[in-house]
Structures are given as C-alpha cells and as structure tokens.
Chain A
Amino acid sequence: MNRENPLVLGIESSCDETGIGIVRGTTLLANVIASSMEEHARYGGVVPEVAARAHLEALEPALREALATAGVALDELDAVAVTSGPGLSGALMVGVGAAKALAVALEKPFYAVNHLVGHVGADVLRTEGEPAIELPTIALLVSGGHTSLLHVRDLTSDVELLGETIDDAAGEAFDKVARLLGLPYPGGPHIDRVAAEGDPTAVRFPRGLTLPKDLEHHRYDFSFSGLKTAVARHVEKLRDAGLEVPVADIAASFREAVADVLTAKAIAACLDRGVPRLLLGGGVAANARVRALAAERAAAAGVELRIPPLSLCTDNGAMIAALAAQLIMAGHAPSALDVSADSTLPVTVVQA
C-alpha cells in the first residue's frame, strides 16, 4: 500500500446523506453527495427507515459518479474507508456492508472510521496555497444528528470529547422550531432566511446549561429541549391571545439563543484549554448567525477560526477518505473485517 500519498475512497451513510469521496493524501479528487432530505420533508425530520432505503438506492450511482469525477478506476485505490459510527444504525449498516464487500472484492485494506472525527478530518483537504490544518484545535460539530465539542490534539490518536448535547441536536431544534413557525424543512436555512429580517433581541429565550449551577457539571454540554419548549410556549401564548405571531422576530431571537450558546461554549473551551484555534463542522456551520458570531467572538478572544467549504462541512464521504488517509500516512494498520456498525461509537475511537 502507498503510505506516502494514498488514494482512498470513503463511504458515508450515517444519517440522510449518502456520500462518496475520493482523496489522494490531502488532495480532494471527488465529493459526491446524494441526499434523501426531500423525502423526509413531509415528516419534518429524518426518518431512519426512509434514510436507510435511500442509502441503498443512492450508493452505487454515487460510487460510479465519484470514480468518473476523480478519473480513477477501483483497482487503483490504496484503501476503502467507511463511517462505522456514530449515526443511525440501519443507515450505517448499508455503508459498512458495501465498503467491506468492495475492500474484499478489490483485495484492498479496509478502514472503519469515526464520523465525528471525520468532520475534523475534512479540514486537511485544502486547495493549493492554503495553510494546512494546525493542531491542537477545538472543534464544534453541529448538525441535525449531533452537537459535539472536541479537543483534538492528534487527528489519528488523541481526540477528547469535551461535551455534547444532552437532549436534541441543534439542527433538530432548528427543524422543530421551523415547524412551529410554519416554515419548511429543513429548518436551518429557512430560519436563517426569515431571521435576517427580524430583531434578535425581541425575545430573550433561555440559553441551555449556562447557569452557574449547570456549568459545574455541564460546562461544555448543550441542551436545546428547553429552548424549543420556550419558543413553543411563547407562540402558543400569542396565538391564544389572538395576536399575530412575529415570525421573523421569533426566528431571529431563537437563532440568536442557539448561536450564543454554541459559540460561547466553544470559545470558553479554547480559552480554558489554551488552544487558539476553533474549527466548525456539520451542516449548522452554514448558519449565517453562527458563523458571524463565531468569527466575532474568535477575533475578540484571539482565536483563529476555520470553517471548511460547506460541501465538506455537511456529511460527506471525502472527510471519511481524508481521515483514513491520515491514519494510513501515520502508519495505522487496517480495521478488522468484522467491525460492527456502532451507532454510539465514542469519539475517542478514531478508527474502529
């Protein structure tokens, strides 16, 4: 196997995006993403069985497209990589089954890697002239499936979970509040759009786990369930009183509460740990207010903020291939062929 600059294909199927990525070392060759988002729209959230069925159908076309885009043949690959967790179990199993079969049929090494660490791995993929990823870094990974704060000292061997959501993922809260306000799914972009016209100080919604007593045990953890309920209560009160619901103001105030908590805790982690770098990952990194507030607070704290291009922030196979390439270049042996799809794979397990 080429350990200098390995050609790796990565398969991602942990949630509602089927991603196939191909990288050579730290160079991105292809990043094909097929999303089943539209199929979930009528349900207002990701339906695991619908997502898993969609992965099975999307996988082969996405594989063919990625190979064509990268201009490589399967037998040229140095390794096949896959997300083995965390994520939706039935969805993960589709990718794991396909990746193992590809690796066996091609007689290539198999690497099963951690989805969350993959989000950090996306940042090694740089176009020429851009500075390479610097470690250690704090990473804030926020999507419809996860909300996690990591301290990454070494991408392949030293990742610490500082905190995570104790109830809903932030992206899920966006979806639920959007529904409440009569906005379409997925909630994030629609709330972002509507909020631009609203007053973020109109309603002071609660910031979960930020009170001194909560900070003792949940300094870096998140909670969005109380916020969601507070928005619901506020809207119901207005409707019961026969008043018009100021959708833009509520969207802006809700978005402000989410952005405030996310960025405050992430910057606090940078300062507490003496790490002058913050990496954003996950679909919520597309949120305009989260980006703006992160940039503002990072600058004020002397922290360098990094946000990979959006196609590498949302779930994708390139980040999985990139992380596997890092493991290969660091001399790690392949994964066993009997690793399972682990819906709760801990972030400390970079490679299963």
Chain B
Amino acid sequence: MLLAIDTSAGTAVALVADDGRVLAERSTADTRRHAEVIGPFLAEVLHEAGVAAPALNGVVTGIGPGPFTGLRVGIAAARAVALAAGIPLLPVPSHDAVALRLVEGGVAAGRFAVVTDARRREAAITVYAAALPLPTVLEPAHLVPRAGWMPPEGVVAHEAHEIPAAPLAHAALARLAAGLPFPDPQPLYLRAPDVTLSTPKRVTG
C-alpha cells in the first residue's frame, strides 16, 4: 500500500493498494492553497481507508516540475510522513503520472509530450514514447517558451492542468515491480532562484 502526494500543480493525495486499486483520494486544482489542504487531505485519505501511516509500504512524492512554492509543500510533507512512519520515500517525476494515465487510457500513442504551466510565459515539458507499464522518457523535463513553441516532428503535445496522485503511485509500483531506480528526492525546479542583485543607489542627486 502506497501513499502518493503531489503538489506540483494543485494538491493531490491518494492511497493505492499494491495491486493498483485506489483506496482513497482527494484533490483540488487550486494552486494557492497547498499548505492549507495538505493536512486535511492526508488525514482524510488515511482515515477513509482505515490505515495508519506505519502500515504503508512507502510514500510517493511528485518532484515536479512545478511552480516552486507549492511544489515544496508536498515534498516536505512526503519526507515527513516517511520519517514519521519509518518507510521509504519514493520520488517520481510528476509528468510521469500524466503520461501513464494518457497511455493507459489509449489517449497517447507513439511519441508525445506532457506540457504543464511553468508561469512567466514558459511551459515545462517532458517527451515520452508510449509504453506500459511505464512510458519511456525521451527528453526529461525542461522549460520552453509558451509563445511559438512547437512540439518536435511526430510528437503530440498534451497539456495537463492537474497531476493526479493515483497514477503517480502506479508509476512507483511499476518502478518497484521492474526493479527500476527512483530519482533523487529533489524538486525539479528547472530555474535558478529569482534574485535581483541590487547595487546601492545614490540618494543625493
């Protein structure tokens, strides 16, 4: 049984059995309330399934890409649950959840790109080749300008506004089953921190 948390877009939490059944889930597309809803979502999902955290086999955390501020809430929460319950942390790129759902649903075939908003007139994209149980990453997550960007030849772009937590857990289950390694539990910021190096200005004319 895995708990999956993603806050790279809105906030999504799901509890998924080892066979992939979704036992409980909560989500909101609201991109401004991550720190608020993470508490109730975690409590409700565990309560609804009647599960205590130490009974979990792992915590799946979506590592983005996503606008920074919200993204960190889910990663901080997932690390805390893993520490509290003494269970492994399983980091998964957030786009993998969308890609898996698109392939499982028969929506995507061949080569395709998952596109999410990165703010500041940019989008984050990951290019995949359709495959199961896990789509193959052809180009890892990176930023492209919103205006004028065209997917590479033969690649169909799929824009996502939410990252669902259940397929994030499914992606983790597939990695576990195939013995594939997990990435580092570091957020995919894709951008250096925004800083303006101010030089002291003259105050007299």
Residues in chain A within 8 A of chain B (CB atoms) = 42-44, 47, 49-50, 52-53, 55-56, 59-60, 63-64, 74, 89-90, 92-107, 110, 176, 179-180, 229, 232-233, 236-237, 240, 336-341
Residues of chain B within 8 A (CB-CB) of A47 are: 193, 195
Chain B nearest CB, measured from A1 CB (Å) = 17
Across the two chains, which residue of chain B brings its CB closest to A95?
B76
Complex Cα gap A63–B35 (Å) = 19
CB distance from A183 to the nearest CB of B (A): 12
Indicate the size class of the contact surface on chain B: 35 or more
Q: Which residue of A lies closest to B197 (CB)?
A: A43
List 10 A-B pairs, minimum CB-CB distance, nearest first. A337-B39, A100-B39, A101-B77, A105-B84, A97-B73, A101-B80, A105-B53, A49-B193, A98-B76, A97-B76
Residue of A nearest to B71 (CB): A56
* Nearest-neighbor residue (CB-CB) of B75 within chain A: A56
Partner of B39, one of A60, A89, A104: A104
Q: Is the CB of B35 within 8 A of A101?
A: no
Which has the most chain A C-beta neighbours within 10 Å: B39, B53, B83, B193? B39
Assembled-state Cα–Cα distance A212/B180 (Å): 72
Bound together, the chains give a CA A59 to CA B75 distance in angstroms of: 11
- A49–B40 CB distance below 8 A: no
On whether the beta carbons of A93 and B42 are closer than 8 Å, the reply is: no
- Contact of B83 with A60 in the complex, beta carbons under 8 Å: yes
Seen from chain B, the residues whose Cβ lies within 8 Å of a Cβ on chain A are: 7, 33-40, 42-43, 46, 52-53, 68-70, 72-81, 83-85, 187, 189, 193-195, 197-198, 200, 202-204
From known contacts A50-B193, A101-B42, infer whether A339 and B79 are also in contact, taking CB-CB under 8 Å: no
Q: How far, in whole Å, are A232 and B201 apart by their CA atoms in the complex?
A: 9
Asked if A101 meets B76 with Cβ closer than 8 Å, knowing A49-B193, A90-B69, A107-B52, the reply is yes
**Complex partner residue of A97 from B68, B72, B189, CB under 8 angstroms:** B72
Q: Can you give 12 A-B contacts (C-beta < 8 A)?
A: A42-B197, A44-B198, A96-B73, A97-B76, A97-B77, A104-B42, A104-B81, A105-B85, A107-B53, A110-B39, A236-B204, A339-B39
In the complex formed, the residue of B with least CB distance to A340 is B36
Given contacts A98-B79, A236-B203, 10 further A-B contacts (CB under 8 A): A52-B69, A53-B72, A53-B193, A60-B83, A63-B80, A94-B76, A97-B76, A102-B84, A105-B80, A338-B37
Q: Chain A nearest CB: distance from B148 CB in Å?
A: 27
In the complex, the answer to whether B187 meets A56 with C-beta atoms within 8 Å is yes
Please report the C-alpha to C-alpha distance between residue A337 and residue B37 in the assembled complex, in whole angstroms: 8
Given contacts A98-B79, A100-B42, A93 and B72 within 8 Å (CB-CB):
yes
C-alpha spacing A340/B194, complex, angstroms: 24
Q: Which residues of A contact B202 (CB under 8 A)?
A: 232, 236
Residue pair B81, A179 in contact (C-beta under 8 Å)? no
Cα separation A237 to B83 with both chains bound (whole Å):
58
Alpha-carbon separation in the docked complex, A133 to B77 (Å) = 35
Contacts of A176 in B (CB 8 A): 200
Provide the bound-state CA to CA distance between A154 and B141, in Å: 52
| B38 → A minimal CB distance (Å) | 5
How many angstroms between the C-alpha atoms of A105 and B43 in the bound complex? 8
- Say whether A233 contacts B73, CB under 8 Å: no
- Chain B residues, Cβ within 8 Å of A90: 68-69, 72
